[in-house]
Structures are given as C-alpha cells and as structure tokens.
Amino acid sequence: MHQSATTDVTDRSDDNVVHTYQKALEVNLDATSFGSFAEIGAGQEVARWFLRVGAASGTVAKTVSAYDKKVSDDLYGSGTRYVSGPRLEAMLDFEWKSLVQQVGDARGKDTRLFAFADTIAARNFAGTNDCHGWIGVRFQDQPRAEASDILLHANLRDNANLLQQEAVGILGVNLLHALLNERAAPGDLPARMFDNLANDRLEIDQIVMRGSAFSGCDMRKLHTALARGGRAEAVTLDGDGAAVAANEFLYKKSVAIVPLVSDSHDNLSPEAIAACLATLRREVAGNPEVKDVIDLRLMVVDSDASLPAMGKGAAMMTRHRQLYRATAFVRRYTQAPLRFAVPLPALMRIFDDVRYQHLEGRLLEGIARLFGSDVRVLAYPCPREELLHLLKTEPGRRWEVDGSGKWITADQLRPAPPLRHLYEYLLASGFLVAMPPS
C-alpha cells in the first residue's frame, strides 16, 4: 500500500509533495511517538498529511477541528481571540491533558507523547483579512519526560487560500519531523521548518520555546537568524528584548523608527527621541483609531557582524537597509502616523542612488515608497564640525552646507543638482522635516 501511494505522489512531479509525504510517513512509522492533532480556522491541513500517507494508527491518537466558535469555546474556554497566542496555549493545555489521561498509562512507558495544535486565519473570500496563525507542539523528548513546548507565529504570504493551507500543512509536517524524528537542535529548527517552503510563502516572526528540550537556546540569536535569513521580513522586539508578533505589537499604533548605527556620532540623543514621541502624541491625541505611540530601534542584521548593541527599548530587526522596506512592513499592521527620526548623516544615505539599483525606478521609486501615507522623516541637526569632516572624508557625496552656526540643520544642507530639486520639494512639502537643535 505504501509503495503505490508513493508512486501516485511521485507521478505528480511535485517535489514539495514527495518530500512532505516521506516526512509524514517517517513520523507514522516511528513507533516511539504518538499524539493528537487539534486544528481550527483553516482546516486540518497538518493532520491530513499523517492520515493520507498510511500507518496513521501508529501516530495519531485523534484529530479534531473545532471550527465553530461555540464548539471551540466549549473545548478551550472563551475570552480570547480565536487566532491568538492565548488560544493556542489553551488548545495545547486541553489536548495535552486529554492525551495523557487517555493513553498515558497504556503508552507512556515506551512512547514520546505529543499534542499538535494550530489556529489559522487563511485568506477570506474577499481577500481583506490578516492571513496569519499560531502553531504549537507540546511534546516529550523522552518517554515519561516532562513536556516541552514550541509555539510559532506565522504570516501567510501566498495570495490564495488553498496555497496558504498547503503551506501550513508543509510547515506542520516539517516541525513535527524535526522534533520527533530528527531531534534537531533548537538553533537548527528554523531551517528545518522551511524545508520545501520558499521564504516568500510564509514568515515566522515569533518563536517561543519552553522546557528541557530547549535548554540553553539563545532566543535572541534564533530570532536574529530568522530576520537575517529572510524567514521573516522583520522581527519586532518589546522593551524587554523578547520577540512579539508584529501584527499584535504594531496594530493601530503610531510609530517612530530610529535606525541604529555603528558610528556613535550618528546616534540620536534620548532627548531627541523623546521630542519626536512627544510631537507624535500631540498629533494623534484624541484619535480613537490610534491605540498608542511607540518608538522602535531599527536594527539591520544583514551579516553576522552587523548587529549593534540594542540597549533599552523596543526594536525591529530586518536584513534590509532601505528605509522604504520598513515603511511597507509597518503599513501591513497600522495606518497611523509613521515617523523616521534620523541624524543628518543617515539622511544623506537615504539619497544615495546606489541603494536603489534593484528598483526599476531607482532612487525616485525608493523615495516614493518611503514616503507613503502619512510618513515623514524627521532630520535632526548635526554639529557643523562633524558634518564638514564627514563631507571631506567622503567627497563623492557632493553635498553643500549653508550658514555658519554651530549646528547644521536639514534645511541648511543641499545635494548637488539635479537631486537638489527633489530634496527641496520634500522639505517644502513637509515630507522631510528639518528639526531644530535641542
């Protein structure tokens, strides 16, 4: 039976299907693992694999799809959003307790038990919803061991419901195979999870690991690797440095982004950042559509040596140096005012044409993408001596400076023509704001 099924799949000439089929079958044929599947929202895409490849009785204790909201509330409790981390936790708690009660005595001596759960919002018929989900596994790495947990937040990037469901199924099979059969080290899990999945099909922007199976795992390093490898467009970190799902962290918030730099002379002072936030708060005061005002340190992690010290405060890690990509990412989750707070050296880099060679419209397209709906760049002054020294050491910049004061502001700085005309337009129209010395 297994041979004919493999032939059927192979005949489809779909490598993803073949590899996923083989992984699911390997899990089923491993007599040392046994567990349950609970999936709500987008259907039973992961359980479907283990049921279709054969030998499922060796792995599957039960599958359940609590699709109806009242059924879901009856099983897992009410009071949480249906596609959320708390709902996933409730699912794992309930399914793990049920599994241990039902089969723990009969199988626990020689079997590693697991409970797989996911809650997914795939693309709706109108194509207007946030396509994302939470996936988790509670499992034993040895029979009768204390359980460990892994929880993931995934953004679904395919443009069709069926493709998104397919991606969830492959991701779930990859995750279970990596945990149960490969016994992959925690740091290797992201690569294992994306086996046969292109980065543009889904993102994983938050991972939670708990228990002895993940002892010693450096979560900051793991999330940095997600951003650096393109497995997440960006990873957002809260004030304590913990990764949080961007769709929750940024939702309806007004954001000030402060790029982190390797040169301390380019750093903005805490006073400058505080002034930026105060300006934003005054601007959105009384707007019921804005939940909060936050500042994010933008951390570029495009190489192993590129991660600056984070310090205190929330942050966003990305492999992209172009600020317009940060605009696009934030606009996925909030339409509230977005501000970039930058010193003059960083402002000049925004106008470097070399940063936009990959775009069809080059610099003009990059600038247009940066200054999207209600986006402004707040340019903070630089000491005259420091900026003149920079212009002398990098003569290719071809910028000119007006005035004679101690500080140089953005409206005293001009690039060479013809770029000067664009720069002056941005100043005059308010897209580029010349901040005064503090």
- Residue 167: per-residue pLDDT: 96
The fraction of the chain above a pLDDT of 90, given in percent, is: 78
The model carries a pTM of 0.89
Q: What is the pLDDT of residues 32-88, one digit of tens each?
A: 999 999 999 877 899 999 999 999 999 999 999 988 899 999 999 998 899 999 999
Cα-based angle 68, 70, 73 (whole degrees, multiple of 5):
110
pLDDT at residue 10 is higher than 90: no
Is 87 inside any structural domain?
Answer: yes
Q: What ranges in 133-269 are assigned the alpha helix state H?
A: 161-176, 189-193, 219-228, 246-249
pLDDT tens by residue, 257-298: 999 876 666 678 888 889 889 989 999 999 999 999 999 999
Q: How far, in Å, CA of 81 to CA of 133, rounded?
A: 11
Residues 274 and 176 occupy one common structural domain: no
Whether 160 and 256 map to the same domain: the answer is no
Nearest CA to 345 among 401, 295, 292?
Answer: 401
Per the structure, the count of domains in the chain is 2
Inter-residue contact 256 to 294 (CB < 8 Å): yes
Residue 7 pLDDT class (50, 70, 90 cuts)? very low
Residues 309 and 416 in one domain: yes
Query: Best-predicted range by mean pLDDT among 33-37, 216-220, 401-405, 433-437?
Result: 33-37
- Which domain covers residue 305, as residue numbers? 244-434
- Distance between CA atoms of 82 and 183, rounded to whole angstroms? 30
Quick one: 183 and 248 in the same domain? no
What region, left, alpha or beta, does residue 286 occupy, with left being phi > 0 and alpha being psi -120 to 50 degrees?
left
379 and 322 assigned to the same domain: yes
CATH code for position 111: 3.90.950.20
The single-letter DSSP state of residue 250 is S
Determine the Cα–Cα distance for residues 52 and 60; give it in Å rounded to an integer. 12
Residue 254 sits in the same domain as residue 396? yes
249 lies in the same domain as 188: no
Is residue 240 pLDDT above 70, yes or no?
yes
Q: Flag whether 235 is in a domain.
A: no
Beta strand 413-415 with 399-401 is antiparallel
Same domain, 54 and 100: yes
pLDDT tens digit sequence for 91-127:
999 999 999 999 999 998 899 999 999 999 999 888 8
| 251 & 200 share domain | no
Looking at residue 263, its pLDDT comes to 64
Instruction: Give the pLDDT of residue 396.
Output: 59
pLDDT in tens, 308-342: 566 678 999 999 999 999 999 999 999 999 999 99
Q: Is residue 233 part of a domain?
A: no
pLDDT tier at 1, thresholds 50, 70, 90 = very low
Residue 438 has pLDDT above 60, yes or no: yes
Question: CA-to-CA distance for 218 and 226, rounded, in angstroms?
Answer: 13
The β-bridge partners of 414 are 400
Q: Choose the weakest-confidence range: 182-191, 365-374, 385-394, 404-413.
A: 385-394
Which residue among 200, 217, 234 closes a domain?
217
pLDDT higher than threshold 70 for residue 239 = yes
pLDDT in the model for residue 12: 37
Q: Look at residue 234 and tell me if it is in a domain.
A: no
Q: Each residue of 349-374: b (16+ CB within 10 Å) or e?
A: bbbeeebbeeeeeebeebbebbbeee
